[in-house]
Amino acid sequence: MIAILKSGTNAEQLENLTEWLKAQGLTVHISNGKFQTVVGLVGDTSKIDADLLSSLEIVESVTRVSEPFKSANRKFHPDDSVISVGDCKVGGGSFNFIAGPCSVESKEQVCGIAESIKASGATMLRGGAFKPRTSPYDFQGLKADGIEYLLEAKKITGLPIVTEIMNANHLSMFEAVDVIQVGARNMQNFELLKELGRTNKPILLKRGLANTLKELLMSAEYIMAGGNENVILCERGIRTFETYTRNTLDLSAVPMLKELTHLPVIVDPSHATGVSKLVKPMALAAAACGADGLMIEVHNNPRQALCDGAQSLTPEQFDDVASAVKRVLAALS
Ligand code: PEP
Ligand code: MN
């Protein structure tokens, strides 16, 4: 349920209303927008008398929100959420380039890539330390050492780091990580999501291989319901019958999500296509359809990569993609 307040409502009136609603067992979200204040109510709102609420002097209108996701719902928070990651702002009109190798392979590798992508305009460094691999015989990541090398690259370049968590028991290793990624395979690992909801870390939540947008938003809701509202959504392609590409990039997810939620939405054209030559056209299309950023795999030597070489760009190719994306953004502005 949401209540839109009349303009001119003062802080004391808002406080009284909030206390009254909280006393009825509800969680209250206040969104102070440019033009209006929206009070979002989460919990068992069936006990609330909507007519009584709308009759209050300060209340303009009351609406029941039918979607099962509440905190993530744009109706609760009409303005875009802006998530701060170091000096970067994600959402609300800024555009972020997150780039780096699929897996951290060595300190030299990740530091070298970090310097190149930074020079090309990347705003964050990605790299997997714990890798979700289809085969248990494939490289599983450097684990704690991988995180240490990412931190080394951050020290050199100042780029915030993004890396994936697969097990809530590993959380203590992620203390210095700037953005914790939840990969496609764990999008519905609800115990992991609940645990991340108890932190205040920005979470990059990737859409599952075969999940609907509603399911993605419900997973974001798990994190937000725990008190962590710093969620960035990522479209990374879904499973279809197509075999030329690794996944099918669902770009309509971007404008659809932007309508449904106030959370930032980025696109990963690398995992979406699995083919390096498709990364540039899909990156341009993602920028054109309103994404708040891109996550792109970049490797110093894709042919020798321990993971996802076929979809990885060289630093030179990333530089070309980043400048082409900037031209699209400039043309749209
Ligand atoms: C990744 O970003 O490294 C990754 C494994 O992606 P996804 O979870 O989208 O497959
Ligand atoms: Mn990868």
Segment 86-145, tens digit of pLDDT: 999 999 999 999 999 999 999 999 999 999 999 999 999 999 999 999 999 999 999 999
**Per-residue confidence (pLDDT) for residue 298, from 0 to 100:** 98
The residue nearest atom 9 of ligand 1, judged by CA position, is: 184
**Within a domain: residue 69?**
no
Q: What is the mean pLDDT of residues 292-308?
A: 98
In this structure, the answer to whether residues 162 and 303 fall within a common structural domain is yes
- Ligand 1 binding pocket includes 75 (Cβ within 6 Å): no
Ligand 1 touching residue 132 (CB < 6 A): yes
Average confidence score pLDDT of the chain: 97
Q: Give the pLDDT score at 269.
A: 98
Residue 156 sits in the same domain as residue 238: yes
From the CB of 271, is ligand 1 less than 6 Å away?
yes
Sign of the alpha-carbon dihedral angle for 11, 12, 16, 17: negative
Residue 183: domain span = 83-332
267 lines ligand 1 (CB under 6 A): no
Please compute the mean of the pLDDT values over residues 9-20 and round it to a whole number.
94
Mean local confidence (pLDDT), 73-91? 96
Are 185 and 295 in a shared domain?
Answer: yes
In a domain, 73, yes or no: no
What distance in angstroms lies between residue 100's CA and the mean position of ligand 2's atoms? 10
Mean per-residue pLDDT, 142-171? 98
Share of the chain above pLDDT 70, in %: 100
Ligand located closest to 185 CA: 1
Amino acid at 258: K
Q: What does 150-214 look like in DSSP terms, one character per residue?
A: HHHHHHHH---EEEE---GGGGGGGTT-SEEEE-GGGTT-HHHHHHHHTS-S-EEEEPPTT--HH
Does residue 34 have a pLDDT over 90? Answer: no
- Please indicate, yes or no, whether residues 118 and 201 belong to a single structural domain of this protein: yes
Which residues have CB less than 5 Å away from ligand 2 (the ion)?
Answer: 102, 308
Give domain status of residue 76, yes or no: no
Residue 54 CA to residue 6 CA, distance in Å, equals 11
One domain for residues 144 and 172? yes
Model pLDDT, residue 172:
98
Least confident of 66-70, 145-149, 169-173, 324-328: 66-70
Taking only the tens place, the pLDDT of each residue in 259-279 is 999 999 999 999 999 999 999
CA 208 to centroid of ligand 1, rounded, Å: 10
122 within 8 A of 97, measured Cβ to Cβ: yes
39 and 111 both lie in a single domain:
no
Kindly state whether residue 74 falls inside one of the protein's structural domains: no
Q: Residue 40 corresponds to which tokens in the numbers above? A: 């979002």
**What residue's CA is closest to ligand 1, atom 6?**
183
pLDDT value at 33 more than 90: no
Q: In this structure, are 113 and 26 located in the same domain?
A: no
At a CB cut-off of 8 Å and minimum separation 6, what does 17 contact?
3, 5, 39, 56, 58, 59
Asked if residue 68 belongs to a domain, the reply is no
- In this structure, of 34-43, 123-132, 176-185, 196-205, the range with the lowest mean pLDDT score is 34-43
- 65 CA to centre of ligand 2 in angstroms: 37
Domain contains 319: yes
Distance (Å) from CA 271 to ligand 2 centroid: 6
Could you tell me if the CB of 255 is within 6 A of ligand 1? no
The domain total for the chain is 2
Question: Do 142 and 221 share a domain, yes or no?
Answer: yes
List the CATH number of the domain containing 12.
Answer: 3.30.70.1140
Whether 255 and 108 map to the same domain: the answer is yes
Please name the residue whose Cα sits nearest to atom 3 of ligand 1. 102
| Nearest ligand to residue 129 Cα | 1
User: What are the φ and ψ backbone dihedral angles of 72, each rounded to 5 degrees?
Assistant: -80, -10
| Same domain, yes or no: 59 and 88 | no
Give percent above pLDDT 90 in the chain.
96
160 and 213 assigned to the same domain: yes
Q: What CATH number corresponds to the domain at position 286?
A: 3.20.20.70
Whether 253 is covered by a domain: the verdict is: yes
Q: Are strands 179-182 and 161-164 parallel, antiparallel or unpaired?
A: parallel
Beta carbon of 25 within 6 Å of any ligand 1 atom: no
Indicate whether 245 and 127 sit together in one domain: yes
CB distance 28 to 39 below 8 Å: yes
pLDDT exceeds 90 at position 297: yes
Q: Taking residues 151-170, report their average pLDDT.
A: 98
Structural domain includes residue 228: yes
